[in-house]
């Protein structure tokens, strides 16, 4: 069977009027950067790039060498293309401006260059998450304020998953589409059209070690799952927690489930654990495009008006019936 590549998929999306030529170019450049990150990630100890970089990121987290490498690859790949007004990265405090002598475009790119990097040294899947917003070039140079748009404004969102195979999962607002990297050809092959999240599930993902810190609605919800057949849900549930959001979300897009990093007493002062602009919003767009739901437990994530670039939020996303149940428990208090 003739194989469709990401390039052909994007050209067809452009011909259908769903994306512009600049957005097509942007996604192609991100895909090329992701291939370079995949090469580095797969070298592991052979390249002397595991372990700590000896620096901290804006989140105050110790950076892995691969965090820094992945961040540099994405910044450098996207500076020259002429499709971006600016970039923002989990690893960098400030907005990353396009060099003054380079052409600029009408898009903003946000990314978590290597999500789950605490897993990299133990050879567990990690990923890259990206979000694309629009910027009106007439409004002048992009500032942090230019990025503070709700998730519903995203032009595109996606992730790369560096697992047994390297996958790119993407939405431009017309469904969720999966691509598998063919390392021999160096191209992403269109392998999973129109990914959907089953409304029902028997699988949940949460870091159960935080149980005593959760708010009562989440404690009630998880306790009912753990009671299985003997409890009010009347069926048994399974639990998975990779501690790489990309891997957990991909499993949910593939076979359903609910992912929770809810508000808890440990992260309350920061507003939550996960970041709104380059983790929660892009994943929420993918999940909603796949027929699922994504809330903070109280509000739709993509409807939030961001206040800060590195803002954190509680995240509950996945199979619609389960997300709606947890959200209802929050409303009951
Ligand atoms: P914990 C990775 O550091 C991350 O940001 C997400 O990818 C992941 O879901 C979460 O944090 C894991 O957090 O507290 O289980 O280590």
Q: Is the dihedral of CA 257, 261, 262, 266 positive or negative?
A: positive
Percentage of residues in the chain having pLDDT higher than 70: 99
30 and 56 inside one domain: yes
Atom 4 of ligand 1, residue of closest alpha carbon: 116
Last residue of a domain, one of 192, 227, 247: 192
d(CA 241, CA 249) in angstroms, rounded, equals 10
The answer to whether position 325 is within a domain reads yes
pLDDT tens string 261-313: 999 999 999 999 999 999 999 999 999 999 999 999 999 999 999 999 999 99
pLDDT tens string 111-127: 999 999 889 889 999 99
Burial of 2 (0-12, 13-18, 19+ CB in 10 A): exposed
Instruction: Say how many domains are in the chain.
Output: 2
Q: Is 112 annotated as a binding residue?
A: yes
DSSP 300: B
Atom of ligand 1 nearest to the CA of 261: 9
The answer to whether position 1 is within a domain reads no
Q: How far is the CA of 242 from the centre of ligand 1 (A)?
A: 8
226 and 306 inside one domain: yes
pLDDT tens string 223-235: 999 999 999 999 9
Residue-level pLDDT at 51: 73
pLDDT tens string 161-175: 999 999 999 999 999
Cβ of residue 252 lying under 6 Å from some atom of ligand 1: no
Cβ of residue 45 lying under 6 Å from some atom of ligand 1: no
Atom 12 of ligand 1, residue of closest alpha carbon: 243
Percentage of residues in the chain having pLDDT higher than 90: 87
Cβ of residue 243 lying under 6 Å from some atom of ligand 1: yes
Cα end-to-end distance, the chain, whole Å: 54
174 and 215 inside one domain: no
The answer to whether position 112 is within a domain reads yes
Atom of ligand 1 nearest to the CA of 241: 15
Cβ of residue 245 lying under 6 Å from some atom of ligand 1: yes
- Band (pLDDT 50/70/90 cuts) for residue 2 is confident
Cβ of residue 115 lying under 6 Å from some atom of ligand 1: yes
Instruction: Using alpha carbons, list the distances in angstroms from residue 160 to 248, 278, 283, 299, 329.
Output: 13, 13, 12, 27, 33
Which structural domain range is residue 18 located in? 6-192
Cβ of residue 244 lying under 6 Å from some atom of ligand 1: yes
Last residue of a domain, one of 192, 211, 245: 192
Q: Is 273 annotated as a binding residue?
A: yes
The SS3 call for residue 102 is: coil
Cβ of residue 226 lying under 6 Å from some atom of ligand 1: no
Q: On the CB side of 226, how many CA atoms lie within 13 Å of its CA?
A: 10
ipTM, 2 dp: 0.98
- Band (pLDDT 50/70/90 cuts) for residue 110 is very high
Mean pLDDT across 179-195: 97
Last residue of a domain, one of 192, 227, 253: 192
Here the CATH number for the domain that contains residue 112 is 3.30.540.10
Q: How far is the CA of 270 from the centre of ligand 1 (A)?
A: 15
Q: Is 71 annotated as a binding residue?
A: no
Q: How far is the CA of 244 from the centre of ligand 1 (A)?
A: 6
Q: What is the mean pLDDT of the chain?
A: 95
pLDDT tens string 34-68: 999 999 999 987 777 777 788 887 777 777 788 89
Here the CATH number for the domain that contains residue 327 is 3.40.190.80
Residue-level pLDDT at 1: 64
Residue-level pLDDT at 58: 76
Q: How far is the CA of 1 from the centre of ligand 1 (A)?
A: 39
Residues 288, 169: contact at Cβ < 8 Å?
A: no
37 and 155 inside one domain: yes
56 and 160 inside one domain: yes
Cβ of residue 57 lying under 6 Å from some atom of ligand 1: no
Atom 16 of ligand 1, residue of closest alpha carbon: 243
186 and 214 inside one domain: no
């Amino acid at each position: 069977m003739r194989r469709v590549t990401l390039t052909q998929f994007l050209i067809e999306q452009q011909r259908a009027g769903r994306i512009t030529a600049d957005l097509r170019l942007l996604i192609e450049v991100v895909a090329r950067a992701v291939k370079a990150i995949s090469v580095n990630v797969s070298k592991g100890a052979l390249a002397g790039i595991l372990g700590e970089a000896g620096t901290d990121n804006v989140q105050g987290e110790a950076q892995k060498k691969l965090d820094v490498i992945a961040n540099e690859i994405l910044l450098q790949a996207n500076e020259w293309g002429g499709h971006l007004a600016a970039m923002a990265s989990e690893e960098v405090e400030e907005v990353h401006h396009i060099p003054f002598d380079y052409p600029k475009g009408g898009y903003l790119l946000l990314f978590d260059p290597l999500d789950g990097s605490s897993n990299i040294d133990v050879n567990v899947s990690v990923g890259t998450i990206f979000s694309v917003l629009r910027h009106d070039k007439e409004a002048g140079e992009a500032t942090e304020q230019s990025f503070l748009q709700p998730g519903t404004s995203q032009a595109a969102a996606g992730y790369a998953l560096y697992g047994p195979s390297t996958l790119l999962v993407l939405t431009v607002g017309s469904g969720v589409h999966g691509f598998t990297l063919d390392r021999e050809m160096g191209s992403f092959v269109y392998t999973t059209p129109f990914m959907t999240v089953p409304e029902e599930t028997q699988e949940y993902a949460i870091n159960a070690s935080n149980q005593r810190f959760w708010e009562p609605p989440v404690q009630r919800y998880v306790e009912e799952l753990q009671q299985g057949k003997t409890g009010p849900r009347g069926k048994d549930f399974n639990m998975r927690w990779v501690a790489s959001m990309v891997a957990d979300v991909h499993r949910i897009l593939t076979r359903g489930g609910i992912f929770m990093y809810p508000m808890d007493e440990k992260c309350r002062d920061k507003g939550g654990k996960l970041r709104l602009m380059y983790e929660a919003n892009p994943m929420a767009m993918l999940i909603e495009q796949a027929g699922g739901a994504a809330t903070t437990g109280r509000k739709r994530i993509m409807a939030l008006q961001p206040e800060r670039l590195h803002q954190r939020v509680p995240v509950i996303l996945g199979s619609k019936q389960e997300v709606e149940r947890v959200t209802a428990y929050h409303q009951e208090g």
